[in-house]
Structure 1
């Protein structure tokens, strides 16, 4: 018979995978670039939680280190993509008279 921790981890795996599927759908059909960035960030968070769940299930602490590194890389990627989206919006709004817009 399974104990409550195994049941909770198995249920969490199912919910995390369901979240990954929904995030992937949003990543593919997202109408704007901002939607795609948020979906990619959500997939990163779900992957971090998957690593944490696997570390609990396997009693292997190496996956905690992987989760921490993945969270840091995901954070930096989200910040970089957010800056890209913001600059892209600023370029679209800027006048088209051949003038460069400064970084003020």
Structure 2
């Protein structure tokens, strides 16, 4: 099972790097918002993989809190977003 955890960690790392690139190079603020939301979702997935690999369940409340804060933040930014002038 260690190979599975290593592969999933490597895939998450590559996805995080690609998402960071997209977040930094996004031409609009909405692109950056989607990139940061995706980044937070991948961090949540990484924490879930860590919990599954180690069996340490003390991180689960942090995963729930992070997902709730991310959801509320995304909704508020999307609600009050100003249009980009191109």
Q: TM-score, normalised by structure 1?
A: 0.75
- Flag the structure with larger Rg: 1
1:48 aligns with 2:44: yes
Aligned length: 84
- Report the aligned-residue RMSD: 1.3
- 1:50: Cα distance to partner? 0.6
Structure 1 gaps of 5+ residues are 93-104
Q: TM-score, normalised by structure 2?
A: 0.89
Structure 1 segments (4+ residues) deviating >4 Å: none
Higher helix fraction (1 or 2): 2
Structure 2 gaps of 5+ residues are none
